[in-house]
């Protein structure tokens, strides 16, 4: 009985082929541009902040090892600010290097620590012109303070630029 139902109610005919079926030929798909050919009006993929601003924090510009941080803390100069505490130590290199910290004791929740570190990294990145004015190259360790959570980027950026000007003047 089940076989009879299938034979009576289910068609075995194949549907006719679609007239404009999308089949990519040997020469590729000419209708859609690739990501590298995207025009600026095509949304988020068009914005490339690294080439626009010309300064990103590469691996060479970061302090990564605990020993590097400790060396700057022990031998470096401390500068207090409202939103950050900055430690600097001449590095005898060709570039300014950065390390950012936000402690659980000082800041609290992980998402708040992450935001604080993002703000401080961005302040460092946007201060490229000011940092280029500093003749001596330093290792910078910036510790976030709790007060940074209540502000937008402008205030930490302004404070960091004041600190850089103070370092350049000394």
Condensed to tens digits (0 to 9), the pLDDT of residues 53-103 reads: 555 778 888 999 999 999 999 999 999 999 999 999 999 888 999 999 999
Per 3-state DSSP, the chain is made up of helix, strand and coil in percentages (nearest 5) of: 45, 15, 40
Q: What is the pLDDT of residue 52?
A: 45
Task: For residue 7, name the pLDDT band (cuts at 50, 70, 90).
Answer: confident
Order across the sheet with 138-144: list the strands. Answer: 77-80, 84-90, 138-144, 97-101
What band does 36 get if pLDDT is binned at 50, 70 and 90? low
pLDDT value of residue 17: 73
Is the entire prediction scored with pTM above 0.85? Answer: no
Question: What are the boundaries of each domain within the chain?
Answer: 59-169
> pLDDT digits over 141-151, tens only?
999 999 999 99
- Please give the DSSP secondary-structure letter assigned to residue 42: G
Q: Which fold has domain 59-169?
A: Ribosomal Protein S5; domain 2 (3.30.230)
pLDDT at residue 27 tops 90: no
Structure tokens given for 108: 């609290």
Q: Determine the pLDDT at residue 51.
A: 44
Sign of the CA dihedral with 50 first, then 51, 55, and 59 last: positive
Give strand ranges (E) for the chain: 77-80, 84-90, 97-101, 138-144
Average model confidence (pLDDT) for the chain?
83
């Amino acid at each position: 009985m089940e076989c009879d139902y299938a034979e009576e109610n289910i068609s075995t005919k194949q549907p006719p082929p679609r007239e404009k079926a999308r089949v990519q030929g040997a020469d590729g798909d000419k209708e859609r541009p690739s990501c590298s050919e995207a025009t600026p009006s095509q949304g988020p993929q068009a914005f490339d902040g690294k080439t626009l601003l010309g300064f990103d924090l590469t691996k060479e510009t970061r302090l990564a090892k605990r020993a590097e941080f400790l060396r700057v803390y022990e031998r470096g100069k401390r500068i207090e600010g409202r939103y950050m505490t900055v430690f600097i130590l001449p590095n005898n290199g060709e570039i300014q290097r950065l390390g950012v910290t936000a402690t659980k004791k000082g800041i609290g929740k992980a998402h708040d620590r992450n935001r604080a570190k993002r703000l401080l990294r961005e302040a460092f990145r946007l201060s490229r012109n000011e940092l280029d004015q500093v003749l001596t190259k330093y290792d910078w360790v910036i510790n976030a303070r709790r007060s940074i959570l209540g502000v937008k980027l402008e205030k930490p950026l302004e404070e960091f630029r004041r600190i850089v000007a103070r370092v350049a003047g000394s």
